[in-house]
Amino acid sequence: MMLWKNKNTVTGLSTGIHKHDKFNTWFLVTDASTYVVGATAEGYLVNLHWGARLEQLDNLNATLNTDFSSQDPAITMAKEELPIFGGLRYRENALKIELPDGTRELNLLYAGDANVTGNHLDLHLRDGNHTDLLVTLHYEVDAENDIIRRSYTVRNGLKKSINISKALTAAWHPPTTLGRDDKREIVTLSGEWNAETNVETTVLRPGVRHVVESTRGFTAHASFPYFALRSVADEISNGEQDVYFGTLAWSGGWEISAQMNPEGEVRIAGGIQHLDFGWTLEHGESFTTPVFAAGYTNEGMSGARKRLPRHTRKYQKKNVKTQQKDYNPVLYNSWEAVAFNVTAEKQLELVEKAAPLGVELFVIDDGWFGARDNDSAGLGDWYVNKDKFPNGVKPIADRAHALGMKFGIWFEPEGVNPNSDLYRAHPEWAFHYPGIPRYEARNELSLNLGIPEVRDYLYKRLHTIIKENDVDYIKWDMNRPFAEVSMLHDNGRNPREAYVHIVNGYYDLVDRLKKDFPDLWIESCSSGGGRMDMGIVERVDQVWTSDNTRPDGRLFIQYGASLFLPPRVMYGWVTESGNDDNVKIPLSFRFHTSFMGGLGIGSNLNDFKGTDMEETKNWIKLYKELRPVIQDGDLDWLVPPSRLSDLTAVTQATAQDRSEAVVLAFRHRSPFNRPIPKVRLRNLEAKQMYQVRIWLEDATKTEDTYEMSGALLMAQGISLPGLNSGMFRSALVHVKKA
């Protein structure tokens, strides 16, 4: 279906996909951007525009420049949509294919064939040298979030098998304009266990390829599949508000690189990690890459921070049934309180204490199965430990249900301890090359989810536990990086395919469970936030953001994670972490930190003293009242957590219709007792009056309430004298249309 009308003179192009009637150019139009791709006369597909929305089908004819020099061939400089390995291409390439005779040369050209279906565009390419080798580029427009989703499919029509040794999803080319983009900076996310999603900014330099990646076989903590590219302010310019940003929908090893040439032209390329990757396509087979979604905004990082989480949320809501009806629940999990020491008696005690607090989901974490008293045994044996739970876990589930809570349980399906019945029965199911020492991490090996029998075993065990115990939620953990990854079973497949099979196996199991139990909630966890990516968030309900539950540490972690995660999926527990003899972080500060996303309680309720129970109950009640804005709003940072030496940070969650907002302000300490400046809000309606309510340490008592116009809230802001002195001071502010 072609959506264009009145030839090329139309003004006010509608959102969607339009083809130019004279040229092979396609205009992908979103609310505030346009992405134009076109085929040159030779058949190369190149990007012709990415940025501000165009109003008509401009005559953007795709041509290759002449070679800049014999050393700088035109095709190297071209903004190719899918730069392949081969020919005179020397910038980052996305696709490398090897034929049985050793040829590693492709000549992919537009085949004169395209399909537009709604918001989807498919462009078909054919290899000029081997015409039965076909590649289809897929584009999908998310108009309201100014995002394009890309992937492609390689089809082998040759009579022989071919090997793909690199299959990055896409190359993106943010434009460069003289005087506007002279100095460009890429924003990425680094990290490690207990300190995920640190925001890093790096100025791009010509001749240097900047790469963020995971070589660990899963998303991992070291970097996160996210980028944002922006111009940097200098003496004469303020820096542009144009930001290009994107993320990968992939939970396996991944890479995103940025490369700039001396003219400032940038290529961003990314997809499945190519190190040790391989895929063999027999005659008639095809391979499709995961999605790389990227967008444009002229509203700066704040605009990028709004669009990507909204986009992910849109697809999560579309795919995940549980996300279509309820808010994400307030949960209780005793892992930090009792670790492996879970017993029926103790968990029941906690159930009784959690319910009156307003907790909606009670979770038994690690330790309920097999011979699991610590992390050295039992992993893989998904049978209830009868010493700890003589009557099984069903009585706990029943009691939780009777008290109006959901019941959840922990699994680590991909892990296996060598000291387990499963490993003793099936050592061949774990990744390990025979004859060399095993590489254990946390005393475990990884099961090969590429093997159908492994998936079947896990499916059966998880299914049984869920069904027999009326489980409403599972926490799917994964506590080690992959090693020795190979197929290691006799199916004749290329051993390097295993990196993809394990991810597809993981998705397959998650999808099957979601299908069998449409009301089952799933949390993605990997030693904290090692598995936070759009690929899994489009399938599950929530993620465990970090094992670090210290509230001040959390500010930094959540600052980074909220660049790409919808607020509701980002879970934070209130615990005692960070308290010692000298420091007591108020419960209010802990709750306020966790009020940025999904709320959890991880304290040992048996150790609660004085008014702790009452206070917890009151904060949970207030959280539920504000939850629609917190979970469905846009989370923006008015002050990033690293700005001042005394650690000030302020967030604003704003309802999409701007009728209300929740502001959280934190001040770690005030060495000089100096007054904190006013906090200016954003994104409200200037002409509207808002009712302002401010809480400090007591959820039942507002410190201040007044009415103020949106204009004044944005121009001058709110005074927070409660943060002027003391340590770990925080405030919660709710503004709502009066």
Does the footprint of ligand DGJ cover residue 204 (CB under 6 A)?
A: no
- Give the integer Cα–Cα distance in Å for 429 and 414: 10
Minimum Å gap between C-beta 525 and ligand DGJ is 5
One residue of 188, 273, 420, 479 binding ligand DGJ per CB under 6 A = 479
* Shortest Å distance, C-beta 170 to ligand DGJ: 32
Residue 335 engages ligand DGJ in binding (rule: CB under 6 A)? yes
Give CA–CA dist 233/448, Å, rounded: 49
CB of 214 to ligand DGJ, least distance (A): 17
**What is the smallest separation between the CB atom of 289 and ligand DGJ, expressed in angstroms?**
29
What part of residues 377-416 is at the interface with ligand DGJ (CB under 6 A)?
410
Residue recorded with tokens 């100096």: 674
CB of 589 to ligand DGJ, least distance (A): 21
Residue 185 pairs with which residues in a beta bridge? 203, 230
Work out how close the CB of 551 gets to ligand DGJ at its nearest, in angstroms, rounded to a whole number.
17
Q: Does 524 bind ligand DGJ (CB under 6 A)?
A: no
Helix, strand or coil for residue 364? strand
Toward ligand DGJ, which CB reaches closer, 528 or 578? 528
Stretch touching ligand DGJ by CB under 6 A, among 141-149, 523-531, 648-656, 690-698: 523-531
Instruction: Verify binding: residue 528, ligand DGJ, rule CB under 6 A.
Output: yes
Cα gap 127→144, rounded to integer Å? 35
Q: Is 4 in the site for ligand DGJ (CB under 6 A)?
A: no
With contacts defined by CB under 6 A, name the span among 9-17, 35-43, 521-529, 583-591 that binds ligand DGJ.
521-529
Q: Is 477 annotated as a binding residue?
A: yes
Q: How far is CA 684 from CA 595, 688, 689, in A?
A: 20, 8, 10
- Member of 92, 181, 472, 477 binding ligand DGJ (CB under 6 A): 477
The CA angle 534-536-538, to the nearest 5 degrees, is 65
Contact string 49-68 vs ligand DGJ (x = CB under 6 A): --------------------
In contact, 605 and 632? CB cutoff 8 Å: no
Catalytic: which of 142, 146, 477, 634?
A: 477
Cα within 13 Å of Cα(665), Cβ side: 24
- Please choose, from the candidates 335, 246, 254, the residue with its C-alpha nearest in 3D space to the C-alpha of residue 294: 246
Say if residues 566 and 632 touch (Cβ distance below 8 Å): no
Q: Rounded to the nearest whole angstrom, what is the least distance from the CB of residue 368 to ligand DGJ in the complex?
A: 11
| Residue of 547, 552, 634, 636 marked catalytic | 547
- Stretch of residues binding ligand DGJ (CB under 6 A), selected from 4-12, 218-226, 483-491, 524-532: 524-532
For residues 596 and 570, the answer to whether their CB atoms sit within 8 Å is: yes
Structure-token pair, residue 47: 């990007």
Q: Is residue 523 close enough to count as binding ligand DGJ by CB under 6 A?
A: no
Site for ligand DGJ contains 30 (CB under 6 A) = no
Q: Should residue 80 be labelled a site residue for ligand DGJ when binding is judged by CB under 6 A?
A: no
State the Cα–Cα distance between residues 556 and 666, nearest whole angstrom.
Answer: 12
Contact indicator for 531, 249 with CB cutoff of 8 Å: no
Instruction: Examine residue 577 and tell whether it contacts ligand DGJ (CB under 6 A).
Output: no
77 in a labelled binding site: no
What stretches of 283-422 adopt beta strand conformation (E)? 286-288, 292-297, 331-333, 361-364, 406-411, 415-416
Enter the DSSP assignment of 236: S
Q: Which is nearer to ligand DGJ, 335 or 369 (CB)?
A: 335
Residue 547 marked as a ligand binder: yes
In 3-state terms, what secondary structure has residue 394?
A: helix
Taking CB under 6 A as the criterion, the residue among 140, 242, 366, 533 binding ligand DGJ is 366
Nearest-approach distance from CB 102 to ligand DGJ, in angstroms: 46
- The answer to whether 305 touches 295, Cβ cutoff 8 Å, is no
How many whole angstroms separate alpha carbon 220 and alpha carbon 527?
A: 9
Question: In the bound complex, what is the minimum distance in angstroms from residue 544's beta carbon to ligand DGJ?
Answer: 5
Is the Cβ of residue 28 or residue 532 nearer to ligand DGJ in the bound state?
Answer: 532
Residue 544 as a binder of ligand DGJ (CB under 6 A): the answer is yes
Residue 547 annotated among the catalytic residues of the structure: yes
605 binds ligand DGJ (CB under 6 A): no
Looking at residue 444, what DSSP letter applies? B
Rounded to the nearest 5°, which phi and psi values hold at 75? -70, -25
- In the list 525, 569, 620, 665, the residue contacting ligand DGJ (rule: CB under 6 A) is 525
For the bound state, the minimum distance from the C-beta of residue 695 to ligand DGJ, rounded and expressed in Å, comes to 29
Euclidean distance between CA atoms 216 and 485, whole angstroms: 10
Q: Where are the beta strands (DSSP E) in 319-375?
A: 331-333, 361-364
Q: What is the CA radius of gyration of the chain?
A: 27
Q: Measured at CB, which residue is nearest to ligand DGJ? A: 366
Window 300 to 329, contacts with ligand DGJ (CB under 6 A): none
Residue with tokens 């990290």: 191
The residue among 85 and 193 lying less far from ligand DGJ, judged by its C-beta, is 193
Q: Is 366 annotated as a binding residue?
A: yes
Q: How many amino acids of this chain bind ligand DGJ (CB under 6 A)?
A: 11
Residue closer to ligand DGJ (CB basis): 279 or 368: 368
User: Is 693 annotated for ligand binding?
Assistant: no
Nearer to ligand DGJ, 363 or 723 (CB): 363
The Cα 94–Cα 88 span in angstroms is: 14
Closest to ligand DGJ by CB, 378 vs 560, is 378
314 in a labelled binding site: no
SS3 content of the chain, % helix, strand, coil (to 5): 20, 35, 45
3-class SS of residue 123: strand
The smaller minimum CB distance to ligand DGJ, of residues 341 and 656, is found at: 341
Among 142, 146, 547, 615, binds ligand DGJ (CB under 6 A): 547
Q: Decide: is 365 part of the binding site for ligand DGJ (CB under 6 A).
A: yes
Q: With contact defined as beta carbons under 8 Å apart, do 46 and 62 qualify?
A: yes
Residue 476 is labelled as binding a ligand:
yes
Q: Does 224 bind ligand DGJ (CB under 6 A)?
A: no
If phi > 0 it is left, if psi is from -120 to 50 it is alpha, else beta; for residue 647 that is left
Q: What letter does residue 247 receive in the DSSP assignment?
A: E
Binding part of the chain for ligand DGJ, among 32-40, 400-408, 525-533, 625-633 by CB under 6 A, reads 525-533
CA distance linking residue 529 with residue 650, whole number of Å: 22
> Which pair of structure tokens corresponds to residue 529?
């936030």
Closest to ligand DGJ by CB, 231 vs 527, is 527
Task: Kindly tell me which of 247 and 527 has the beta carbon lying closer to ligand DGJ.
Answer: 527
Q: Which residues contact 272 (CB under 8 A, 6 or more apart)?
A: 167, 168, 169, 250, 252, 253, 254, 255, 289, 290, 499, 500
Distance set, CA 399 to CA 5, 74, 344, 359, 402 (Å)? 63, 70, 11, 13, 5
State which residue, 67 or 440, has the beta carbon closest to ligand DGJ.
440
Q: CA angle 571-575-581, nearest 5°?
A: 150
Does 652 bind ligand DGJ (CB under 6 A)? Our answer is no
CB of 443 to ligand DGJ, least distance (A): 11
Q: What are phi and psi of 704, to 5 degrees?
A: -155, 145
Binding ligand DGJ (rule: CB under 6 A), the pick from 527, 577, 683, 730 is 527
Site residues (CB under 6 A) for ligand DGJ?
335, 365-366, 410, 477, 479, 525, 527-528, 544, 547
List, as residue ranges, the binding site.
Answer: 193, 365-366, 442, 475-479, 525, 547
Catalytic residues: 477, 547
List, as residue ranges, the binding site for substrate.
Answer: 193, 365-366, 442, 475-479, 525, 547
